[in-house]
Structure 1
Amino acid sequence: MIGPSSDAAELIAYLQTLRSEENVAAMARYGIVTDRALGIFNPDVRTVARRAKKDHFRAKELWRSDIREARLLALYTAEPKRLTMEEARHWANDFNSWEIVDCAADLFVEAGLDELIREFAADEREFVRRTAFAMIAGAAVHRKEDPDAALLAWLPLIEAHSGDSRNFVRKAVNWALRNVGKRSRTCHAPALALAKSMAESPDKTARWIGKDAVRELAGENLLARLK
């Protein structure tokens, strides 16, 4: 029976019992990297994480396994207050999937590693750069205590990388812009103004990001919520 006292090897052995080749095939259709996947859906990995509880040292061991589900479990059971920037950088070196990036970004935001956003945005690797904008998107939603000005300060970075046409970057840049704009009335106007400006850009990618963001940020339901 797995629980808080289970070590990394025991948890990996348990995950192996949940393996599903059918699910692996289904995941591949959603752009999930499956060459080291067991085919366990995220809600089920989260169930294992709740039973295993937080353990930062064990999370680092799970990450080293290079198994998709074990790495997700590592991200779900790492202790944000103990996560260092060096550890986050080390994990980012291994990023090869959008879903791992997005789970990691939530952890990095909770750990308060905002200094990594500019560093990751400057990195040419697709999934590392995605991490920067996934962090902005996550901070806009989860960091309720942050002043709006802290989120608005990321708009120039969003604009600066709006021409990156790689799929997982452009979608994250768009996500970040939309989430900043949806955060509050204060954030909405500057984000919408940037979106409208980008929608008129001669750059195809920036134009796509801007038009898509305008559609959501100018929507009646959002405007009603922000009143």
Structure 2
Amino acid sequence: MDVLHFIEGLQDLSDEGYRIKLAGFGIPNEHALGVRMPDIREYIKPFKGNAELALELFETDYHEAKLAAGLIFPAKELSREQADRFMEDLYSWDLVDQFCGSLFQKTSFARELPWLWAPLPGEFQRRAGLVMIASISMHHKKMPDSDLLEYLPLVKEFIEDDRNFVRKANSWVLRTLGKRSLWLNAQIQDYIQKEWQLGDSKYKFWAAKDAIKELQDPIILARLAKKSLSK
């Protein structure tokens, strides 16, 4: 299928009301069609692994076509250079999160990317570096928990970046690491309290305060304790 026919299929799934709502989610909707993510995932199934189509889709102006590109491109064929090119052109949090979770984390070089991308100045490029840590934590099940702690200096380095989608990424990293295991939960809580606590349960940075609240949730702790006993 060529790009034009692919876009026509997306247009058939579009919802103008949903397109308008995207702006309320912090997603630019000027070039959006208004297709929900579950519908995009279902629509692209016959095209998964088509690298050529994915590249052509990413070059269009359509937001959903770019999302589809991240789902279609085969991770085994993704070079570091092409990953960088994709990352440099990401302009919204949903594109960042989909590319990190559906494509970048599946590559052989995934664990290098936080160190390369988080220091970049762009809001969404920095977010990509941080979200990669969360994606690795969620998907790289065999990675030792202790190895994930090595990424904490990146969070610390950029914790003062108060741009909305960076600070939310920092919180996501801390929460995701802390919900992976009971041991990591204790390690992350301890790190937050040592690095950013001001006293009286007040934390210096929003991301730390946001994360600690969830990591101390009794329901989360009970689930992690049950998971620990089942191993």
TM superposition score normalised by structure 1 = 0.91
Whole-Å separation in 2 of the counterparts to 1:201 and 1:77: 46
- Greater shift, 185-194 or 165-174, is seen at 185-194
Letter in 2 for 1:127: F
Q: What is the correspondence of 1:1-227 to structure 2 with a 5 Å cutoff?
A: 6-106=1-101, 107-112=103-108, 113-200=110-197, 206-227=204-225
Residue 68 of structure 1 deviates from its aligned partner by: 0.5
User: Which consecutive aligned stretches of 4+ in structure 1 deviate over 6 angstroms post-superposition?
Assistant: none
Residue 13 of structure 1 deviates from its aligned partner by: 2.2
Letter in 2 for 1:222: I
Whole-Å separation in 1 of the counterparts to 2:81 and 2:14: 32
For the Cα contact (< 8 Å) 1:198–1:207, is it kept in 2? no
Letter in 2 for 1:207: F
Q: Deviations over 1:156-198 (max 9, x none)?
A: 1111111110000000011001111111123222211122234
* 5+ long unaligned stretches in structure 2: 226-231
For the Cα contact (< 8 Å) 1:49–1:76, is it kept in 2? yes
Residue 145 of structure 1 deviates from its aligned partner by: 1.3
Whole-Å separation in 2 of the counterparts to 1:118 and 1:137: 13
Whole-Å separation in 1 of the counterparts to 2:212 and 2:131: 19
For the Cα contact (< 8 Å) 2:100–2:128, is it kept in 1? yes
Residue 226 of structure 1 deviates from its aligned partner by: 2.1
For the Cα contact (< 8 Å) 1:19–1:40, is it kept in 2? yes
- Aligned pair in 2 of structure 1 residues 206, 59: CA closer, same or farther (>3 Å)? farther
Letter in 1 for 2:184: C
For the Cα contact (< 8 Å) 2:138–2:176, is it kept in 1? yes
Letter in 1 for 2:82: E
* 5+ long unaligned stretches in structure 1: 1-5
For the Cα contact (< 8 Å) 2:88–2:125, is it kept in 1? yes
Whole-Å separation in 2 of the counterparts to 1:138 and 1:93: 18
User: How well do the aligned residues superpose, as a CA RMSD in angstroms?
Assistant: 1.8
- Greater shift, 140-149 or 171-180, is seen at 140-149
Query: 1:3 corresponds to which residue?
Result: none
SS of equivalent residue, structure 1 residue 154: helix
Letter in 1 for 2:210: D
Residue 205 of structure 1 deviates from its aligned partner by: 8.6
- Aligned pair in 2 of structure 1 residues 154, 16: CA closer, same or farther (>3 Å)? same
Whole-Å separation in 1 of the counterparts to 2:151 and 2:167: 15
- Aligned pair in 2 of structure 1 residues 91, 171: CA closer, same or farther (>3 Å)? same
